[in-house]
Amino acid sequence: MDIKPTPFEFHASEWWVKPLAMLQHNWTVIDDESQSVTVYFFHDGGKTKKPSGFVFRSKGAEKYIAIVDSLSFSSRSQAQVALLENGFRKVAVDDFFAARQPKGIVFDARHSEPGIYSKQGYWIPEIEA
């Protein structure tokens, strides 16, 4: 029996990427269609690092990509500045990375992931002047 996740709805049209090492990247999108601005993070390929609790016994797991962390901001411009300060850059249509961004049905796996940016200290907070 499959235990597939519920699709996660958000509104974002542009991807950001942070190259970490050879063929290893972190990805993010900015969702600013709700009351707050949320940045959602994805591992390369959209996979989880830890078991998410969902079971894909049949073909189809490759159709899903996992949100593994998120951060909230007061504005889109604040989110963009913070992403730039943390080594992310917006992916342009003709960019090398445009064809490599995670694709598929998005689901929320933040409950099983260690929070690489929100909890583990890999996020450099905005420096106040």
* pLDDT reading at 128 higher than 80: no
Do the Cβ atoms of 8 and 107 come closer than 8 Å? yes
Strand, coil or helix: what is 24?
Answer: strand
Residue 59, Cβ neighbours under 10 Å: how many? Answer: 7
Could you report the per-residue pLDDT of 75-118, keeping only the tens digit for each?
A: 999 999 999 999 999 998 777 777 778 888 899 999 888 888 99
Please indicate whether residue 49 or residue 20 has the higher confidence score (pLDDT): 20
Residue 92's φ and ψ, nearest 5 degrees, are: -80, 160
Could you report the per-residue pLDDT of 40-71, keeping only the tens digit for each?
A: 999 887 777 776 677 666 566 678 888 999 99
Over residues 18-45, mean pLDDT = 85
Is 32 exposed, middle or buried (CB count within 10 Å of its CB: 0-12, 13-18, 19+)? middle
* pLDDT reading at 23 higher than 90: no
Confidence of residue 20 (pLDDT cuts 50, 70, 90): confident
